[in-house]
Amino acid sequence: NAGVTQTPKFQVLKTGQSMTLQCAQDMNHEYMSWYRQDPGMGLRLIHYSVGAGITDQGEVPNGYNVSRSTTEDFPLRLLSAAPSQTSVYFCASSYSPTPAWNSPLHFGNGTRLTVT
Amino acid sequence: GQQVMQIPQYQHVQEGEDFTTYCNSSTTLSNIQWYKQRPGGHPVFLIQLVKSGEVKKQKRLTFQFGEAKKNSSLHITATQTTDVGTYFCAGPNSGGSNYKLTFGKGTLLTVNP
Summarize pLDDT for A54-83 with one digit per residue, the tens.
999 999 999 999 999 999 999 999 999 999
Q: What is the pLDDT of residue A54?
A: 93
Is the Cβ of A39 closer than 8 Å to some Cβ of chain B?
no
Instruction: Report residue A27: phi and psi, to 5°.
Output: -105, 5
Q: Tens digits of per-residue pLDDT, B9-43?
A: 999 999 999 999 999 998 898 899 999 999 999 99
Q: How far apart are CA A45 and CA A28, in angstroms?
A: 21
Smallest CA-to-CA distance from B77 within B36, B17, B35 is with: B17
Q: Tell if the CB–CB gap between B45 and A106 is shorter than 8 Å.
A: yes
Distances (CA, A) of B30 to B43, B60, B103: 21, 25, 14
CB B31 within 8 A of CB B89: no
Q: Tens digits of per-residue pLDDT, A1-30?
A: 789 999 999 999 999 999 999 999 999 999
Among the ranges given (A11-25, A90-104, B34-48, B51-65), the one the predictor scored with the smallest mean pLDDT: A90-104
Angstroms from A69 CA to nearest CA on chain B: 19
Separation of CA B86 from chain center: 9
Q: Tens digits of per-residue pLDDT, B68-110?
A: 999 999 999 999 999 999 999 999 876 556 678 889 999 999 9
Query: Is residue B5 very low, low, confident or very high in pLDDT (cuts 50, 70, 90)?
Result: very high
Angstroms from A16 CA to nearest CA on chain B: 28
Is the Cβ of A42 closer than 8 Å to some Cβ of chain B?
yes
